[in-house]
Structure 1
Amino acid sequence: MLFRFRARPRGRTAAAAAALLALAAAALPLTAAPAAVADTAPATPDAAVTVNADAGLGTLDPAALGVNTAIWDSYMNDPQVVSLYRAAGIGALRYPGGSYADLYHWVDNTAPGGYVAPGTGFDAFMGTVKASGATPILIANYGSGTAQEAADWVRYANVTKGYGAKYWEVGNEIYGNGGYGSGWENDTHADKSPGQYAREVKAYAAAMKAVDPTVKIGAVLTMPGNWPDGIVGAGDGGDWNHTVLAAVAHDVDFVSVHWYPNAGGGDRSLAAVRRLPGELREVRDLLDRYAGADSARIGIAMTEVNAESGDGALTSRPNGLFAAEAVSTALENGVFTVDWWDTHNGAGPITTVNGETDYGDLGLLSNGSCTGGVCEPAVNTPFAPYHGLQAVGALGRPGDTLLASASSSPDVSSHAVLRADGSLGVLLLNRSSTAARTVGLAYRDFTPDGAAPAVRRWAPGDDGLVDATGTASAASATLPPYSITVLTVRPKPGTGSSAATTGTPGTPRTTAVGADTATLSWPAASGAVDRYEVYEQLGTTVQLLGSSTGTSATLHNLPPGSRHTVNVLARDQAGHLSRPSVPLTFTTGTPNDSTCTVSYRVTTGWGNGFVAAVTVTNTGPADLDGWTLDFDWPSAGQSVNSWWNADVSATGQHVRVTNGTSNAHLAPRGGTTADFGFVGGNDGANPNPTVFRLNGTVCRTLG
């Protein structure tokens, strides 16, 4: 990303809540320890929030909470900035600054065609990294650099200076090099195609790892459902993501995506976070497809995130709420680092948002610049997104376990972690700008100690994240309008995973997946394990799918083409359950011996729309005269808009296709096929349907 002063081209009732709270408190995981709810919740809360300590979403990485830094920022290395990083729990700093990376030559700290501020060279940056206790994420110059230049930087950083820089991206937003018609990224290669980028990534990775085999190399992807996802350039065999991953999936250690929702406003950006889980699932599905068994070791980094320039809420409260919600959601969905764009930027269009001046600045901190005679506050004054990130830092620290949580109200969001000391962190966000919300809290396999929790809060009138202990109990909280509240709930001694005498099982993986079975294995937990139990996440409830006295299990009676997210927990001889393992998500196959097959292909796309071609084949022994094909969209944002060679109807995410006049007859044993297609839309990710039923029979889905 370039020096961002301008927009870039981008294309329930109370009674119901109370009922849900009662249901959540009553639900129990099969054979698991009983859930507990402390104190007395409000009789009619506005929202029922449930946290499940047995449903793990992953572990917070040391680099989880990150920020971008830039060589054009003269305040980048201020001591006050270091103090603010530490106070917010910032664990990663990305350098040298978005699109400037593809201009930047590290050896002499220059960026031909761009401005470089004094005192922003690599060693100065690493001084800030060390002082703040963060991890560097470095961007090697792809646009005007070479693999040798990148390897020399690795040598200087890790051999000569001993910095131990671990994460290295190859370029920044290279899909914006003009190859798809819109060009903001510097790229001096004559060939602007994804194939050329993939070839260079392989060369960069080989050269850099020859110097230091421990470095982690990242390749640039476009976020699914965002431009230019789905677009196939002239002469290319596929779109950016498919072309790049087909070539480099076994050469890289992580992939880098950026997310700017471009939703048109602060509250709309906040609402757009609902798209993130599906988009990130599609990134992981792509890695599974192209990397196979290697997928488990490849991380996902969201190295830039913010609301878009011109959205009218960048330094004011809506973007602070967006920062907390987007970062927490990304971390819960498999991202190991989320890096806010950026530390300092500069004033843009001045607006008023809910009575608050918004300076149109994409930075976390003020740089004191002015627009039309209106000036920002003093340099390094935190803007609202800083307080949003600070709340996430207060929620959890590296090594803590992210947990599944859910709220019954669209106005209230919840996020939770199980901390290393056994306490529970719960972040509650009230997105209503005008009304307070009361929340009833329920817990599964976690028993609060009965004491008042520690409370930190950022609400209108608060000077940043303040101590508000005494304003909530473990069972209830009242959330001011437009606020973030972080609770620290301590466990009753001798309960929950803190009482277990075993460690946590290692990360599970699939060793075989069929149409209705899946076999998993995992590294053993420390301590005396009585048995291991595999639980499937069903929102904030869990279901026991299998158990084993060893470190593998086969799960049976799974529906064909179904997606499952599971955790493995160890149970000790006293009956206590350990913390949940890192989650594993897998999808079962479809039956090889079915009497029909379906091929579904997206032939072209443009970010928020696509064309699909479908072929149906009758492989059974009898003729079919007239047919229907049923399937379900994996994502709520997918739809069919127009079609040909068939009739299509939809109810919610369910789609039914009925034969056309020319393809009603399907001869047996593949004698004839029925082809049809449609134009679809997608608000967010666009994954392929996994299960098709022809006249009620589950078909074999062809890849």
Structure 2
Amino acid sequence: MKRSRPAVLSVFVLAAVPMAGPPVAAADADVTVVVNTMAGMEKVDDLAIGVNHAIWDAQLGTPEVADLMRDAGVRAMRYPGGSYSDIYHWRDHTAPGGYVAPNTDFDHFMAGVRRAGGQPIVTANYGTGTPQEAADWVRYANVEKGYGVKYWEIGNELYGNGHYGASWEADDHPDKSPAQYATLVRDYARAMKAVDPTIKVGAVLTTPGEWPDGITADGDAGPWNQVVLSIAGREIDYGIVHWYPTGESGPEVLSKTDRIADQVRLVREQARRFAGRDIGIAMTELNTSYGRNTQPGALFAADAYATLIANGVFTVDWWNVHNGVERASTIAGQPDFHDFGLLSSGGCTEDGTTCQPALNTPFAPYHALSMLSRFARPGDQLVGASTSDPLVGVHAARHTDGGLAVLLLNRSEDTAKTAEVDYAGYSPAVAARVLTYGNGATGITTTTGTAGSVTLPPYSLTTLLLRPSTPSAAPAAPARPAATAVTDRAATLTWPATAPGVKYEVHRRFGSTSEALGETKGTTFTVDNLTPATRYSVNVLARDGAGRLSWASPPLTFQTTGPTTSSCAVHYAETSNWGNGFVANVDITNTGTHALDTWTLTFPWPTTWQHADSGWNANWSQSGTTVTVTNTDGNRVLAPGETTTAGFVGSYHGPNVRPTSFTLNGVLCSTG
């Protein structure tokens, strides 16, 4: 079983399109929700909503389970089950050292996948297997049986093979380093693709901010991701990450989804830096530590899946379909069994005093997946949305048929919230279908409401399904733009033409707010007057001669460089890391023509979960996310060309994002 574990125009375009339906007076609403369809994010992949199946689960592939997966809109199904993947031999359907349930072989699994209308994700045995064994599996699946298995992983969580101290993953190789793993991944990928060149192969990566990410073990050239991507990055098609955020309460767990955007961005940046290319990202295991079977688990699942999809993760796979009772408790008035499964296993606690509901009864996260599949379908595009209340979360998706869906999460356990909903770039019809999944419910209810307002029950998921007030044929959305010639103050954006006679609008995205940077009839646009060392997200939209506006392009994110000229320079370098803390040095150089007599350096952390705890060769303090570093008597004066080095011990509880903007005595410094 699985272990527990430029701004040239500066015109704001958010002025809401006139509301369809009676608006709620602001004084009467608890929260204001803003949806901006011009702030485009990523599209929903065919495999976006997924689950894990395990060969020790006797219900794997049964018609009842397959039908439940189909009804929930599950499209991806991963096999043969977490850490069992590294002891499983598909040909004889054995897992030495583990339990294998009857009728859970690969063909039974595929029968369930096909009945559910899903697609498989298969994990080849790295720990106790060989490249030839994996290639033979590809041949059996796709040549002999015609199953068309596209996505294959090489092993599961191999960083847990003891190389970093903790050992839960089987790995018979004498060399357990990331370099050995990456070298064999190349062998696996080549052997498997020699059988079927159309398959996609994924390699195990660590999740930024989660152990052992950032740690460099003795003898390694760098942390796990750096080594694996440097060696195998040209051979693989996607990276595999897993996430089990910790927490002992609903508020603690539900707040952790704010880590996701940085997790995904850092993996993407690591691939570009160490592999020299973009790769896909798959989160093939996800679950939570609190309320797994009750409403906190449902709220977490809905928020995490939607956020991951919006950030371009092509599949998110819940761990798992069945697992079993760990312990019984009551959460938000409902029985919780601390069970990783989406469906009840029908078991009881060890003392027999508390039993689960009947076998295959859906737990709350199952209904969250069902809600997600109605909120956003393959091909739909997530768009920007925000709320005025931190206890209310929101996601929005533009549907390929012209509709719009708004998913609202009320994280307050006790209080209903009345929400006023405003729209930019979209004019909804008055009526809305309202889907609701409340605390303790056994299914999703459907009612009729309005586009402009909705009441959110305590601890609930609510989706508004909307139609446009006046359907129209808009021009095709542009493709994702590319950025070149990025400097401290400018960037040139380019994109393919969509249709003759249209003009293109370039928008900077701030969550649910857009700022118009300019427009052009061509397919190139230079953005000027940008801020140095700043990250920008932009979309391109096409408008035709009738004024009809396309969907937003997929987003482009780029970062301007530090100032090209400055009277100071800063070099920031992490020197060691142990998983939730690190040591870093900051080199400060006076590049001006005059001596500095006393100095103060400030820099902001990019996140709220990073902290400078203590330091040396300077006075260190932190207020909010801003770190302040001042001289000591020994380095008070910095002559022109002189450098002083100060160091500190830092801590983090999420992705450890490198700071990029440093100011010395009020002057923004160049960086390197």
Q: Name the counterpart of 1:462.
A: 441
The one-letter amino acid of 1:287's match is: A
Q: Name the counterpart of 1:583.
A: 555
In 1, the alpha carbon distance for the partners of 2:275 and 2:525 equals 24
Q: Name the counterpart of 1:480.
A: 457
In 2, the alpha carbon distance for the partners of 1:252 and 1:173 equals 16
Alignment of 1:156-555 (within 5 A): 156-292=140-276, 294-295=277-278, 298-308=279-289, 311=290, 313-371=291-349, 372-373=351-352, 374-450=354-430, 452-460=431-439, 462-467=441-446, 469-470=447-448, 472-494=449-471, 498-500=472-474, 502-525=475-498, 527-555=499-527
**Aligned CA distance change for structure 1 residues 251 and 694 (closer, same or farther; 3 Å):** farther
**Aligned CA distance change for structure 1 residues 29 and 160 (closer, same or farther; 3 Å):** farther
Whether the aligned pair in 2 keeps the contact of 1:56 and 1:567 (CA below 8 Å) is: yes
TM-score (norm 2): 0.95
* Deviation for aligned residue 1:476: 0.6
Whether the aligned pair in 2 keeps the contact of 1:33 and 1:445 (CA below 8 Å) is: no
In 1, the alpha carbon distance for the partners of 2:16 and 2:387 equals 21
In 2, the alpha carbon distance for the partners of 1:685 and 1:282 equals 8
* Deviation for aligned residue 1:338: 0.7
Whether the aligned pair in 2 keeps the contact of 1:139 and 1:168 (CA below 8 Å) is: yes
**Aligned CA distance change for structure 1 residues 349 and 173 (closer, same or farther; 3 Å):** same
**Aligned CA distance change for structure 1 residues 100 and 277 (closer, same or farther; 3 Å):** same
In 2, the alpha carbon distance for the partners of 1:146 and 1:411 equals 49
RMSD after superposition: 1.8
In 1, the alpha carbon distance for the partners of 2:167 and 2:637 equals 49
* Deviation for aligned residue 1:463: 2.5
In 2, the alpha carbon distance for the partners of 1:281 and 1:242 equals 15
The one-letter amino acid of 2:493's match is: L
**Aligned CA distance change for structure 1 residues 65 and 286 (closer, same or farther; 3 Å):** same
* Deviation for aligned residue 1:631: 1.5
2:655 aligns with one of 675, 681, 685: 685
Q: Name the counterpart of 1:701.
A: 671
Whether the aligned pair in 2 keeps the contact of 1:33 and 1:577 (CA below 8 Å) is: no
The one-letter amino acid of 1:386's match is: Y
Q: Is 1:616 aligned with 2:563?
A: no
**Aligned CA distance change for structure 1 residues 665 and 388 (closer, same or farther; 3 Å):** same
Q: Name the counterpart of 1:41.
A: 24
* Deviation for aligned residue 1:581: 0.9
Whether the aligned pair in 2 keeps the contact of 1:266 and 1:314 (CA below 8 Å) is: no
The one-letter amino acid of 1:693's match is: T
Whether the aligned pair in 1 keeps the contact of 2:83 and 2:157 (CA below 8 Å) is: yes
Q: After superposition, give the CA deviation of every residue in 1:132-184 in whole Å (9 maximum; x if it has no partner).
A: 11121111111111122222222222222222211111111111111111111
* Deviation for aligned residue 1:593: 3.6
Q: Name the counterpart of 2:65.
A: 81
**Aligned CA distance change for structure 1 residues 85 and 651 (closer, same or farther; 3 Å):** same
The one-letter amino acid of 1:508's match is: P
Q: Name the counterpart of 1:13.
A: none
Q: After superposition, give the CA deviation of every residue in 1:337-356 in whole Å (9 maximum; x if it has no partner).
A: 11000001111111112222
Whether the aligned pair in 1 keeps the contact of 2:161 and 2:167 (CA below 8 Å) is: yes
3-state DSSP of counterpart to 2:635: coil
Whether the aligned pair in 1 keeps the contact of 2:160 and 2:167 (CA below 8 Å) is: yes
3-state DSSP of counterpart to 2:480: coil
* Deviation for aligned residue 1:235: 1.5
Q: Name the counterpart of 1:20.
A: none
Whether the aligned pair in 2 keeps the contact of 1:508 and 1:521 (CA below 8 Å) is: yes
* Deviation for aligned residue 1:35: 2.2
* Deviation for aligned residue 1:647: 1.2
**Aligned CA distance change for structure 1 residues 215 and 33 (closer, same or farther; 3 Å):** farther
Whether the aligned pair in 1 keeps the contact of 2:566 and 2:670 (CA below 8 Å) is: yes
Range 265-274 or range 685-694, more displaced: 265-274
Whether the aligned pair in 2 keeps the contact of 1:55 and 1:537 (CA below 8 Å) is: yes
TM-score (norm 1): 0.91
**Aligned CA distance change for structure 1 residues 130 and 182 (closer, same or farther; 3 Å):** same
* Deviation for aligned residue 1:656: 2.1
In 1, the alpha carbon distance for the partners of 2:505 and 2:607 equals 30
Q: After superposition, give the CA deviation of every residue in 1:320-353 in whole Å (9 maximum; x if it has no partner).
A: 1111111112112221111000001111111112
* Deviation for aligned residue 1:529: 4.1
Whether the aligned pair in 1 keeps the contact of 2:533 and 2:561 (CA below 8 Å) is: yes
3-state DSSP of counterpart to 1:208: helix
Range 589-598 or range 647-656, more displaced: 589-598
Q: After superposition, give the CA deviation of every residue in 1:404-425 in whole Å (9 maximum; x if it has no partner).
A: 1111112211111010111111
Whether the aligned pair in 1 keeps the contact of 2:13 and 2:513 (CA below 8 Å) is: no
* Deviation for aligned residue 1:480: 1.0
Whether the aligned pair in 2 keeps the contact of 1:546 and 1:554 (CA below 8 Å) is: no
Range 170-179 or range 511-520, more displaced: 511-520
Whether the aligned pair in 1 keeps the contact of 2:14 and 2:513 (CA below 8 Å) is: no
In 1, the alpha carbon distance for the partners of 2:570 and 2:88 equals 49
In 2, the alpha carbon distance for the partners of 1:318 and 1:591 equals 45
Whether the aligned pair in 2 keeps the contact of 1:231 and 1:240 (CA below 8 Å) is: yes
* Deviation for aligned residue 1:507: 1.9
Whether the aligned pair in 2 keeps the contact of 1:75 and 1:367 (CA below 8 Å) is: no
Q: Name the counterpart of 1:599.
A: 571
Range 686-695 or range 136-145, more displaced: 686-695
The one-letter amino acid of 2:486's match is: V
Whether the aligned pair in 2 keeps the contact of 1:36 and 1:445 (CA below 8 Å) is: no
* Deviation for aligned residue 1:685: 1.2
* Deviation for aligned residue 1:400: 0.5
Q: Which runs of 5+ in 1 are unaligned?
A: 9-27
**Aligned CA distance change for structure 1 residues 198 and 594 (closer, same or farther; 3 Å):** farther
The one-letter amino acid of 1:357's match is: P
In 2, the alpha carbon distance for the partners of 1:357 and 1:537 equals 42
In 2, the alpha carbon distance for the partners of 1:597 and 1:213 equals 49
3-state DSSP of counterpart to 2:634: coil
Identity, in percent, stands at 52
3-state DSSP of counterpart to 2:368: helix
In 2, the alpha carbon distance for the partners of 1:197 and 1:29 equals 51
The one-letter amino acid of 2:265's match is: R
* Deviation for aligned residue 1:512: 2.8
Whether the aligned pair in 2 keeps the contact of 1:260 and 1:305 (CA below 8 Å) is: yes
3-state DSSP of counterpart to 1:534: strand
- Number of residue-to-residue matches in the alignment: 664
Q: Name the counterpart of 1:22.
A: none
Alignment of 1:641-680 (within 5 A): 641-668=613-640, 670=641, 672-680=642-650
In 2, the alpha carbon distance for the partners of 1:421 and 1:200 equals 45
The one-letter amino acid of 1:140's match is: A
In 2, the alpha carbon distance for the partners of 1:623 and 1:33 equals 50
Q: After superposition, give the CA deviation of every residue in 1:407-460 in whole Å (9 maximum; x if it has no partner).
A: 11122111110101111111111111111111100000111122x211111113
3-state DSSP of counterpart to 2:485: strand
**Aligned CA distance change for structure 1 residues 661 and 196 (closer, same or farther; 3 Å):** farther
* Deviation for aligned residue 1:686: 0.9
3-state DSSP of counterpart to 1:662: helix
